[in-house]
Amino acid sequence: MIIRKLFKFENAHIVRKCTSRRCSRSIHGHSYKVEVKLSSNFLDNGQMVYDFGLTKIYIKDIIDSFDHAITLWAEDDKEYIEFAKKFSERWIILPLNPSAEQFSRIFFVIIDKILNLLEFKNSEKNVTLHSVIVHETDTGYAECFREDAFNKNMGEIRLEEIIFSDRIKKEWSDNTLWDKILNNQKLNVPNEC
């Protein structure tokens, strides 16, 4: 069975080296929608694959990090990166160009890692990430499956190269979340959420 949770965020970026001059040379923003699809052949004690309330803990924190933020490509012009960081509290630096395709891959890798680090408490079994869809516009989206997320031909995703601003980390339910993810520390699921 597959379940879906929808998240939304507003984000600014430049997608360098793309065909469209507007996108590749001008800061612009989108109203993103992110669909996280989880699957399992089992149901928990509440007869659910995964309680939607659980997505509000760590998964929402990560996706919400991109809300009202500017996403920067680590390979962009250093002067531009420093300028953007100087005038925005909320910024993220990615090791890959911030296209919808790469957003979907990066979200997949992070959410997959979160699911693997969670200590479930309600008899959840074999909950896996099926796919992540990132809608950049009403008419265009990118969908990432496991084979896409870990496909080095599309660019290797090294989580330790993703940098969240201090302001973003302060707004997480656990401001040490990123350190825990990077260090493979177990993530606790509250008894109630």
Nearest to 75 by CA among 155, 6, 178, 9: 155
| Burial (Cβ within 10 Å: 0-12, 13-18, ≥19) of residue 36 | buried
Q: What's the angle, vertex CA 36, arms to CA 33 and CA 41, rounded to 5?
A: 155
* Selected catalytic residue, list 35, 68, 130, 143: 68
Element holding 67 (H helix, E strand): none
Residue 23 annotated to the active site: yes
- Let me know if 135 is a catalytic residue: no
> Chain centroid to CA 35: how far?
11
Active site residue 30: no
**Which one is catalytic: 13, 124, 136, 144?**
136
Considering the candidates 23, 30, 35, 130, report the single residue annotated as catalytic.
23
- Comparing C-alpha atoms, which of 84, 87, 91 is closest to residue 67? 91
CA distance 46 to 167: 36
Residues marked active site are found at 23, 68, 136
